[in-house]
Structure 1
Amino acid sequence: MGRISSLAALTVFAAALGAAAGTASAETGPYVAIALSYAHIEDADIDGIDTDFGRQPGGYISTDDGYGVNLAIGYDFASNWRAEVELNYRRADFKRATAGALTDATTDGSYRQSALFANLYYDFDTLQSGTFAGITPYVGAGLGWAHIKWSDSHTYNAVERVGHDSSDNTTAAQIMLGFSYAIPEAEGLQITAELRHTRLLGDLTFKGRVLESRFGSFPISTDVSDKGRTEINIGLRRSF
């Protein structure tokens, strides 16, 4: 509930500020947007591993910083509100993991996330003069669905190797804070810069296999809790 309540609080806060923000923009109409993303991904918790011999202890799994792309289509309303549908993709390389008999072990392979979000934004009044003329600050929040894949992942030390090549789905939420800059020489074209935090709301389970160990090879099921990612997104938005 804490994850969803933080999104609700941000939306209420944006609405309250909007009521005192002054005259709303008269610009309305559809837009398309694209952005490149750089993400710091928090270490995910491995809650436990199910095997034929019983449940084994968990730990964590970490990745390097990741990258991605956002594609969106939306509509800008006269009341300073914008609504959009966004499709995004994220990728990062695995780095280390601890679970079962493996402690702080090397992990390779990649983390991949494809997600579909419905986002709602509030644009504050554009600054009309001075050094920051043409800049529009905004806040936003979104809810969506994410498909997560552990692609060709192997965690190993000198005596044991565990592999995963599996995926799972869950709901997701995000909050955004950023600004856009209207390019004077290009009507309807804006540069956007945004700080975003995204978190998966449900637990994940990835099917895998112990490939090498003193007990031989056998299937496993790894339960994971996400702790979120913080991103910087730089992009372009074209209004029509």
Structure 2
Amino acid sequence: MLKPVRLIIAALALGGVSPALAADIYEPPVIEYQPPAPIYQEVGGWYIRGDIDYHWPKLRGTEYITYGCCTPDPGTNRFGETSLKGALSLGAGVGYQINRHFRTDLTGDYWFKSKFTGSTSGSCGGNPCVSVDESDMSALLLLANAYVDLGTYYGVTPYIGAGLGGAHVKWGDLRNTIGVNTDVHKGVSSWRFAYALMAGASYCITQNLQADLGYRYSRIEGGRMFQEYSPSGESIGVGPGFDHGINTHEVRGGLRWTFGGNTNCAPEQVAFQPEPVFQPVYK
């Protein structure tokens, strides 16, 4: 009678262990496939540009030296009121878009003639007199520029920038008129240091073509305006004239063409699509 009892007890013991063993059975994880992310092409490439602007130059001061018998008088003489009229300019350049937010270019702008008017006062035969002075100024401005593009919003990309370079300033002959008499002082051309600060925005016309509208402040350092002048047979004359520099405000408009169309205007392009790799993600 003991054997059946033992068998029953053993069966009951095995039945009690079965649920515990079942709980420890390995269940395979739920796996979700994630495709590899594509690598997008960076914005960048060469571009050319053309610009037209209207600029308002302002002289920071003008002066000239007068001579007595043989040496310059002490100090200098200043012009009275002076002005430079506004004028048009044309520009062109070549640049490189380094990435979506940074680009550089080299530009050249030719400033057409701005009319200069001024006056001087002095003594004519012991009597006070005032002259009317007229000339003109033109310049070639060459700059190396860098810009920060501040993001593209609905096709519009605002930017700020700065440039360093030089300007070849050409002064025309100065006509100094007192009454019916006119003296002519030979104008001078010279290279000078220049820099500029810019701000503006570009607009996407196509993937390659952008319109650009902006403001530029430029500063050209001072230099000589005209040579000395001494009337024939007279010992008293006027020495060279100088300006103290030119500040210029410009309103500019132009077009930029980027080769390849890889600009802020173009949608993101896939440069490389990695091969699918099985990467399990456990839930």
TM-score by shorter chain over 0.5: yes
- Is 1:34 matched up with 2:50? yes
Query: Contact 1:117–1:142 at 8 Å: present in 2 too?
Result: yes
Shift of the 214–181 alpha-carbon distance from structure 1 to 2, 3 Å rule, reads farther
Q: Which has the higher strand share?
A: 1
Instruction: Name the residue aligned to 1:78.
Output: 99
Match of 2:88 among 67, 76, 81: 67
Q: Which moved more, 1:168-177 or 1:53-62?
A: 53-62
CA distance in 1: counterparts of 2:211 and 2:229, whole angstroms: 48
Q: Does 1 or 2 have the higher relative contact order (CA < 8 Å, sep 6+)?
A: 2
1:179 equivalent to 2:179? Answer no
Q: In the alignment, which residue of structure 2 is the partner of 1:105?
A: 132
Partner of 2:147: 121
DSSP-derived class of the 1:68 partner: strand
Asked if structure 2 preserves the Cα contact closer than 8 Å seen for 1:165 and 1:207, the reply is yes
Tell me, what secondary structure is at the counterpart of 2:113? strand
2:191 paired with 1:169: yes
Letter in structure 1 aligned against 2:198: M
> 1:200 — aligned with what?
220
Counterpart residue type for residue 206 of structure 1: M
1:237 correspondence with 2:256: yes
How far has the Cα of 1:53 moved from its partner?
4.6
- Aligned residue-pair number: 207
Which whole-Å deviations, capped at 9, do the CAs of 1:64-119 have from their partners, x for residues lacking one? 111111111000011511111111111233231134647572414x2111121110
Distance between the aligned counterparts of 1:98 and 1:227, measured in 2?
Answer: 18
2:77 alignment partner in structure 1: 57
The amino acid of 1:197's aligned partner reads Y
After superposition, the Cα gap between the structure-2 partners of 1:222 and 1:106, relative to the gap in structure 1 and judged at 3 Å, is closer
Determine whether 1:225 maps to 2:244.
Answer: yes
Tell me the C-alpha RMSD between the 2 structures. Answer: 2.6
1:47-71 superposed Cα distances (whole Å, 9 cap, x missing partner)? 3325455244012542211111111
User: Offset of 1:26 from its aligned partner?
Assistant: 3.7
Mapped to 2, the partners of 1:49 and 1:220 lie a distance apart of 5
Distance 1:180 1:103, change over 3 A: farther
Shift of 1:205: 1.4
Deviation at 1:144, TM superposition (A): 0.3
Query: Structure 1 pair 41/57, CA: closer, same or farther in 2 (3 Å)?
Result: same
Q: Is the 8 A contact 2:59 2:244 kept in 1?
A: no
Distance 1:49 1:104 in 2: 15
Structure 2 unaligned spans of 5+: 1-40, 123-128, 260-283
Amino acid at match of 2:64: G
1:88 paired residue among 86, 94, 109:
109
Larger Rg, first or second structure (1 or 2) = 2
Q: Is the 8 A contact 2:133 2:174 kept in 1?
A: no
Number of the residue aligned with 1:45: 61
Q: How far, CA to CA, are the matches of 1:229 and 1:104 in structure 2?
A: 27
Shift of the 68–104 alpha-carbon distance from structure 1 to 2, 3 Å rule, reads farther
In 2, distance between residues paired with 1:213 and 1:97?
A: 25
Compare 168-177 and 205-214 and name the one that shifted more.
205-214
Structure 1's unaligned 5+ residue stretches are 1-24, 128-132
C-alpha separation in 2, matches of 1:86 and 1:208: 31
